[in-house]
């Protein structure tokens, strides 16, 4: 087991996000997330949505091997769609979770730790997962990302 990413069971509480949905291969996320988040932050700057500044990406497995992704930012209340920006609620229910500290390049290992833990402990994943990014830090070692895999 990956000792740098201890996994815990939690109950995911309700939380809303302002997001732009996309259908992409996972490998394109690092290169393209900005084009989607920029739309959310622009709506926030115009006062059309209220943002908390915490980036949240929700991934759902798609039948074609790609992912349905919501690139979002936490928000405190539902709102009517603004251009491509829409309100969505994070999934709720039992999750396997871990916290990754460090450069975002290590997120793949954190997800692998959750998958391995689920297999070893008899938990079936539902195919939906999300990442909640801590507020930006210049020092990569201080960057926190919480990772959640919804359980079936």
Domain, as residue range, for 34: 8-151
Kindly report, residue by residue over 99-151, the tens digit of the pLDDT. 999 998 899 999 999 999 999 999 999 999 999 999 888 888 899 999 999 99
Looking at the domain assignment, is residue 88 inside a domain?
yes
Looking at the domain assignment, is residue 138 inside a domain?
yes
Kindly report, residue by residue over 1-32, the tens digit of the pLDDT. 567 899 999 999 999 999 999 999 988 999 99
CA 126 to chain centre: 15
Burial 36-62 (b: 16+ CB within 10 A, else e): bbebbbebbeeeebebbebbbbbbbee
- CATH (domain of 75): 3.20.80.10
Strands 51-61 and 125-133: antiparallel
pLDDT value of position 96: 98
Compare 71 and 3 and report the one with higher pLDDT.
71
pLDDT grade for 87, boundaries at 50, 70 and 90: very high
Looking at the domain assignment, is residue 3 inside a domain?
no
Looking at the domain assignment, is residue 2 inside a domain?
no
CA torsion, ordered 110, 115, 121, 126, to nearest 10 deg = 120
Q: In the block, which residue shows the tokens 């798609």?
A: 62
In a 13 Å sphere around the CA of 149, the CA atoms on its Cβ side amount to 24
Looking at the domain assignment, is residue 45 inside a domain?
yes
pLDDT value of position 53: 84
Looking at the domain assignment, is residue 1 inside a domain?
no
Q: Would you say 88 and 55 are in contact if contact means Cβ atoms under 8 Å apart?
A: no
Q: How many domains does the chain have?
A: 1
pLDDT value of position 128: 96
């Amino acid at each position: 087991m990956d000792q740098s990413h201890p996994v815990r069971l939690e109950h995911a509480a309700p939380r809303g996000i302002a997001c732009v949905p996309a259908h992409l291969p996972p490998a394109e996320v690092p290169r393209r997330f900005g084009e989607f988040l920029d739309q959310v932050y622009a709506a926030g700057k115009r006062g059309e949505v209220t943002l908390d500044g915490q980036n949240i990406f929700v991934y759902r497995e798609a039948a074609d091997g790609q992912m349905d992704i919501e690139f979002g930012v936490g928000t405190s209340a539902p709102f009517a769609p603004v251009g491509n920006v829409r309100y969505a609620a994070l999934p709720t229910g039992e999750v396997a979770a871990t916290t990754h500290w460090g450069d975002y390049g290590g997120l793949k290992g954190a997800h692998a730790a959750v998958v391995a833990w689920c297999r070893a402990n008899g938990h079936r994943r539902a195919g939906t997962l999300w990442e909640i990014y801590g507020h930006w830090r210049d020092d990569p070692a201080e960057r926190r990302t919480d990772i959640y895999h919804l359980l079936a």
